[in-house]
Chain A
Amino acid sequence: MDSFQTNILKLKAYWAERGCIVQEPYDVEVGAGTMSPETFLRVLGPKPYRVAYVQPSRRPADGRYGENPNRLYKHMQLQVILKPSPADVIEQYLGSLEAIGIDLTRHDIKFEEDNWEAPTLGAWGVGWQVMLDGLEITQFTYFQQCGGIDLDLVPAELTYGLERLTAFLQVKDSVYDIEWAPHFSYADVRLQDEVQFSVYNFEMADVDVLWKLFALYEQEAARLLAAYPKSVEKARFPLLPAYDQVLKCSNLFNTLDARGAISVTERVGVIQRVRKLAVGVAQAWADQQGAGQ
């Protein structure tokens, strides 16, 4: 029975052998692996790219003070982008499950329709949730659009829910009982931040401060985006930092939402604001990359 970290290492090695760059997690808080620039920006444009990385993904509203065995404020996704998707992409994916010790001739695997859409990113794709003995273990998506732009090459995005997958393999009913490393359980490593961030997100986050921060990050992103078209040296223009500001806005929005601080009438508007910035960055980025060729 492999530990959590061994599964991660094996999956990374598997995808490295298939031409993926193994990246490290992005160091700005995100809600999903898709939001890392390694996916959000790299899927744009005509350049092939393959990358695999673990992305800790924060969803403030999903926090349960560490009391729910299956729900986490922050969970780990293994994100794999294959751009363009190879013809045998499903075979390769199934091979990755076998690489972590799942004998698929003795299990039941199904691909059930599940299309993905992220309105704040102007992104959508079609695909499946992959079910292993009734458990959803992976989200498999063929990207079609990102930042409101039709993609030149269609990437396959594989998102593995690492806690679930490991709990399945280790036959554990609670993610907190997973063995992370010999002698260390998931709870040993992560329970404290589940508790503390739940307390913060639901009870103590200062709504006024969060709104102020939101406005500041938004303002900074908007300032950069407004300057890009007029910039003389477009190739060195800081769009990546602009995107970091957008990610900050997105995480602040999620925290405010968990805190119950966003009214119905505000909500639509705030989502629009984040979307406008994200789409703005994607379009500028596509332009910047195109100009560089």
Chain B
Amino acid sequence: MSLPFLLEIGVEEIPDWMIPGALDSLGSLFAGLNIPAEKIKLDATPRRLVLRAQGLPDRLPDSEERVTGPARSVPAKAVEGFARKLGVRPEDLAIESTAKGEYYSYLRKVEGRKVVDILAESLPGLILKITFPKTMYWTGKGGPRFIRPIRWIVALLGGAVVPFELAGVRSGNESSGHRRLSRDRQGAVPVTIENYEQRLRENFVILSAAQRRRKIEDGIAALSVKLKPDPSLLETLVYLTEYPTPILGEFDPQFLALPEEVLITVMRHHQKYFSVEDASGRLAPRFVAVMNTDADPEGLVRRGNERVLRARFNDARFFWQADQRKKLADRLEDLAHVTFQAKLGSYLDKTNRVVELVKELGGDDAAQRAALLAKCDLPTELVKEFTELQGVVGGLYARAQGEPEAVWQAIYDHYKPESMEDSIPRNRAGQLVSLADKLDTLRECFRIGMIPTGSRDPFALRRAAQGVVRIMAEGRISAAAVLPPNGEPLANFLKDRIRFYFGERGFRYDEINAILAAGWDDLPDVEDRLRRLRASPNVEQLASSFKRIKNILRQADFQDGPFSKDLLEPGPESELYDYMFRVAVGQPIETIIGELAPRLHRFFEVVLVNAPQDDIRANRLALLAALQRRFILFADFSEIVTNS
């Protein structure tokens, strides 16, 4: 018999951004039960996580299990004991031959269990294993933990309830509709597997995220306005609502005198509104809000949202005007009162260090000025209110206060890049300030041992390091003067990010490691060498030879030794030696590879390194060691993985 299955975990409002991950987790936990099932569907709204499946068997098939007992050589008593434990007679046991010898064994029949029993037994534990970034308890200390309290559970296999209890909630067939639009508001909504989605729909819950997304998009299309595209806000709203309906609101056009960045931030981050563009792509005095309800016939919700936005914009304007009374440069001393990090002092300290770093990086006057003013927006009212606008606000104030374009743009951009997708600062001053700011954070945190481990990275140091790497690479900045020396933890941390960066760009990790061994302070050059390395046909041959050199030196435990040119044999050995000293450091790497690979190959074909004469053997080892030292300036070819 083949049965459909429905599990609905009814929860108080789950944070929107955690829902997709929770569904993934639910899906893999269910798969882990190893119950045959097909057409598994996962759905969610803020108040429910739902798994549906078809084709579950009524019971699992019977199976056999071989139980291995004592060795054949044991006394009869032990054999009887083994049989008794299994509930059979000794003569029912078989003898099994294995590589280790002969053993008593028994083929036990295992009756297939009813699936409803397996589910009833495993679902409570399964539900509590769903992973969330942060959980709570609610039934009392030591009670179950989940993202928010579980308030109802629907668990149906075919027509029957899968009976269990979790956190004081008994599973059943009663779901729940929209908090206020549900036709039976206080009561429950009884469902069957067949009518489940329809019953929810009747009670103003759209189960499918795709359908909610479409309802929002269709609703917006019907408003005939052009939005600033914002896919992540759309995703937030899809998981923040059970029955989304967009509405159009307006604000007083006089607020358009405020910078667009400020207006959009207020709408997007604080109110979760979409911004609207006019025909020319400029911000229009309108917004789209998405309600979690069906309609706003009297305009009550629209007017409410408009008033909230007006108050927010008024605040922003108040802050904007109040902040203008004091110039950015005059706020420098206020930075002494802004904590950078408890153990690392104030932002004034940080600013002084960053200015120094920018100088070391060769920053011009504009870059140094931008470094000095970069953090001066932190004590402004506007940034205290809208922290996500740090940098941007400083840039806008700098522009309003007559700082040159190179300076204000650098301040504006200096937190960039904030993600893998984000661009790096648009001008050189901004790139240097951003690089110096991030590098300073990394240096200081590493200095006091605040080093990220595993998933713990409270200061977002990986992102800072990623920013450093991208600015060095894409801004073509050689940062040799300020990077930590090889071997330091921070150097390794940065190199990890470099590997990741080039890995994302399609290079293999072995290639990257080979190239980085020759230096990593000039990333455009690293990328250049990576491309050339990849385009060289003899690379594998050369890699094999260098691996061989490494092995030979390791086996000989060779550290260093005298070398004499006179001991060289004419032919491949001398030619290799001559080549080694002829080759110039500035040569393109593909030339080196092309010339060196056949020479080394021939050397190994013809020359016996482990020569019977001690002095010749030692001389050859010294030659190989010198070769290794010489060519690591281009790459550590032994790192490259060979197929042969």
Contact = CB atoms under 8 A, between A and B. Distances in A.
A134 B337 contact: no
Given A94-B179, A108-B293, A113-B15, A133 B300 contact: yes
Contacts of B12: 90, 111
A68 interface: yes
Interface string A152-180: 11100000000000001001010000000
Interface stretch (A244-252, A262-270, A283-291): A262-270
Interface in A131-150: 132-135, 142, 144, 150
Given A134-B289, A168-B304, A260 B337 contact: yes
Interface in B137-166: 137-141, 148-149, 151
Contacts of A106: 296, 298, 300-301
Given A104-B180, A108-B292, A267 B339 contact: yes
A130 to B, nearest CB: 10
B456 to A, nearest CB: 18
A151 B291 CA distance: 36
Interface residues of A, number: 45
Given A91-B186, A152-B141, A264-B336, A105 B181 contact: yes
Nearest to B148: A126
Contacts of A267: 339
A112 B304 contact: no
Given A108-B301, A126-B134, A264 B346 contact: yes
Contact of B314 (A69, A90, A115, A152): A69
B140 A134 contact: no
A134 B342 contact: no
Q: Which size class do B's interface residues fall under?
A: 35 or more
B305 A134 contact: yes
Interface in B296-349: 296, 298, 300-301, 303-305, 307-311, 314-315, 318, 336-340, 342, 345-346
Nearest to A71: B315
A126 B136 contact: yes
Contact of B240 (A110, A126, A135): A110
A107 B293 CA distance: 8
A109 interface: yes
Contacts, number: 117
A135 B301 CA distance: 10
B179 A115 contact: no
B434 interface: no
Nearest to B273: A134
B310 A173 contact: yes
A105 B180 contact: yes
A267 B581 CA distance: 63
Contacts of B340: 264
Q: Considering residues A87, A142, A173, A263, which has the most beta carbons from chain B within 10 angstroms of its beta carbon? A: A87
A84 interface: yes
A171 B307 CA distance: 9
Interface string B164-191: 0000100000000001110000100000
Interface of A: 68-71, 84-85, 87, 90-91, 94, 104-113, 115, 125-126, 128, 132-135, 142, 144, 150-154, 168, 171, 173, 260, 262-265, 267-268
Given A70-B314, A105-B181, 20 more contacts: A68-B315, A70-B311, A71-B315, A84-B139, A106-B301, A107-B300, A108-B301, A108-B304, A109-B292, A112-B240, A126-B136, A133-B300, A133-B301, A152-B141, A153-B140, A154-B139, A173-B310, A264-B337, A264-B340, A268-B339
Interface of B: 12-13, 15-17, 46, 134, 136-141, 148-149, 151, 168, 179-181, 186, 240-241, 271, 273, 289, 291-293, 296, 298, 300-301, 303-305, 307-311, 314-315, 318, 336-340, 342, 345-346
